[in-house]
Structure 1
């Protein structure tokens, strides 16, 4: 029994809740006024089809159009006629509704360009190209990344269809989560902060997650789906669920030549979409090579970053990522979360964590694997005065052996003005053109046609 009963009258204020009889699938409806229309805002994790029925006296119901919920929610505008009008959404008597890609998704007539983005010369230089971890068997295509975009935002990827990849990797936050720990499908919390995905394509080491347990991005994208806290799915169930959607048959056929849904294809499409999220138009990028567009403070911060601060030892190149190294940055001793050490069981790996790109770092607070720092100012102060001595502390954060306090954690002793300058420089790496670009946003239709 999926029937959902909604009673509404024309005298509703601009926003109101009305009595609702919810079905077993936990669908709900709220109503609001929008001009001379009543808008029915449907929340339906089961993605059912609903027929609108109307009545003037709660007796005979007149059938209206059928609407399909495609990704958990749908707004249905209804004209308000007469002094009193009743509306009912009835899933039991829903008519046939199109579930093709045009009905489910807001996609352009021709694919967005994911495969060959226009990049400035400094991001086409050999050192940058060498950071590209795209495998030979999964080059990004426009159709593949389009499929990946739909999958990235689709709540079908979680057991109860309430959580998507984008729930924990939000575009406005540099494709990270502003919460210290992300909320999973059943309300549980993840063990680590969700890392930003901006320019994830450029990571020479290839490995993913804070502890680098996933050998490739293709491996990584499937693990949250199967995680018991995050999304709680099995790959077999996911394949069955997506195979039942006609619009996915179109997207998989465009991307891979046939409509078959497989976990391998899901993995490849998601990885293609994530690799396409490339930052290239920050203030920093516009300033290369002479940075005449920088303020004096920003240039001072750049000099500290590359000089006294030695920040580029771990965040090098124009993508601000490490080379083929992983680091212990002295957050604590002993480490509560042992990072790579928890995977390998080796003492010498304790406290080693993946070093993320600093691109869009201003947007990805809180910081570190456990989200312990709320602001960039706190991060800078940590590296200025708070690095903790640990047996595995990486060399760039130690004083050179043989000199004053040799081997001990470095203290930068920056002035307040210098710390502010370093923060100002880090903010030049912000690129909102990538976080607001339509081709990286949620493609699902949430407004009834």
Structure 2
């Protein structure tokens, strides 16, 4: 008699072809894809399924997409997002796009999370967010009729744990690329700007006027953010220390990550605490609302004058330019729904 048995067939995931906009290829280095978590068709699909599945929350009422809604460029329209128990935090939900080009790999408003995998870990157990615990989530996924097979196909193991869950979610999040706004099309020679949009861009780039580009990118930085941390003159004293609470360095107090100015049409309210409900309020802050403090960023050169002092026309044109960075294809992309 033979004691041999047929070996179990090994499933090989299909590598995922990340479609990178030409402007990104021309202006930026390659996206960050960890060697221990390569993108695959199956991994991205699993990550998407998990991102939209309320099974990750303690009471089964919320998913990642609850606070990161595709139609809002993967944020929501609340000042503070509410968790499963109706509790509210103190931070505005950050939009999610072009995350694979965050080269310092520090995520969240205060930089507390390293890597997309790390960022996806904490909300599941956070009592003011999804308020579950990973042991329960892992058990629910193991008992699910589909997930064990899907994890086996992606990672080659029937084990399901927080490491593999966050790896899958991070794979999906790396595919969330926004690069087809009107201004992108203008840079590709496919359309023209209105006189107002052109003047608004000039204001954005002019150090004597808006002086926005140092923190928020330019035609040579299609991310439209430097992904760094700045004190942009919101407060003279701080109830939220931001980066300073993470590093413990008082020189970092009041510093928060510069968000991209892409897709502002969809991501109100604005700032880390959602204090501004309109783009006009944001522009007014930099024009005449800056507040000095010990850690104010040197780029806030006119803080002693309250701001850059834009004319009403330049304010209106700056808004017109910022709206030209709205990517309607991104928020309507069926791959992200």
- The alpha carbon displacement at 1:291 in A equals 7.6
Report the counterpart of residue 294 of structure 2 in structure 1. 391
1:349 aligns with 2:245: no
Report the counterpart of residue 120 of structure 1 in structure 2. 21
Report the counterpart of residue 134 of structure 1 in structure 2. 33
Report the counterpart of residue 298 of structure 1 in structure 2. 197
Residue aligned with 1:342, SS:
helix
Identify unmatched segments of 5+ residues in structure 2: 1-12
Report the counterpart of residue 439 of structure 1 in structure 2. 335
> Is the Cα contact below 8 Å between 1:114 and 1:145 reproduced in 2?
no
Superposition TM-score, scaled by structure 2 size: 0.90
Report the counterpart of residue 66 of structure 2 in structure 1. 167
Structure 2: distance between partners of 1:423 and 1:335: 28
Residue aligned with 1:278, SS:
coil
Residue aligned with 2:304, SS:
coil
> Is the Cα contact below 8 Å between 1:389 and 1:409 reproduced in 2?
no
Report the counterpart of residue 9 of structure 2 in structure 1. none
Distance 1:415 1:291, change over 3 A: farther
Report the counterpart of residue 285 of structure 1 in structure 2. 184
Structure 2: distance between partners of 1:330 and 1:170: 29
Structure 2: distance between partners of 1:135 and 1:226: 24
Residue aligned with 1:115, SS:
coil
Superposition TM-score, scaled by structure 1 size: 0.68
1:426 aligns with 2:327: no
- The alpha carbon displacement at 1:214 in A equals 0.6
Distance 1:412 1:334, change over 3 A: same
> Is the Cα contact below 8 Å between 2:113 and 2:119 reproduced in 1?
yes
Number of residue pairs the alignment of both structures matches: 320
1:219 aligns with 2:118: yes
- The alpha carbon displacement at 1:290 in A equals 5.5
- The alpha carbon displacement at 1:345 in A equals 2.9
Q: Which has the higher helix share?
A: 2
> Is the Cα contact below 8 Å between 2:107 and 2:119 reproduced in 1?
yes
Q: How does 1:196-215 map to 2 (within 5 A)?
A: 196-215=95-114
> Is the Cα contact below 8 Å between 1:169 and 1:197 reproduced in 2?
yes
Report the counterpart of residue 226 of structure 2 in structure 1. 322
- The alpha carbon displacement at 1:349 in A equals 1.1
Q: How does 1:259-278 map to 2 (within 5 A)?
A: 259-278=158-177
Distance 1:393 1:210, change over 3 A: same
Structure 2: distance between partners of 1:195 and 1:114: 29
Structure 2: distance between partners of 1:265 and 1:247: 15
> Is the Cα contact below 8 Å between 1:182 and 1:194 reproduced in 2?
yes
- The alpha carbon displacement at 1:118 in A equals 3.2
Q: How does 1:182-197 map to 2 (within 5 A)?
A: 182-197=81-96
Q: Which has the higher strand share?
A: 1
Q: 2:265 aligns with which of 362, 376, 391?
A: 362
- By relative contact order (CA 8 Å, sep 6+), the higher-ranking structure is 2
> Is the Cα contact below 8 Å between 1:397 and 1:410 reproduced in 2?
no
> Is the Cα contact below 8 Å between 2:230 and 2:257 reproduced in 1?
yes
Q: How does 1:64-79 map to 2 (within 5 A)?
A: none
Report the counterpart of residue 145 of structure 2 in structure 1. 246
> Is the Cα contact below 8 Å between 1:154 and 1:165 reproduced in 2?
yes
> Is the Cα contact below 8 Å between 2:88 and 2:128 reproduced in 1?
yes
> Is the Cα contact below 8 Å between 2:245 and 2:253 reproduced in 1?
yes
Distance 1:224 1:296, change over 3 A: same
Identify unmatched segments of 5+ residues in structure 1: 1-110, 400-406, 442-449
Coordinate RMSD, CA, aligned = 1.9
> Is the Cα contact below 8 Å between 1:282 and 1:429 reproduced in 2?
yes
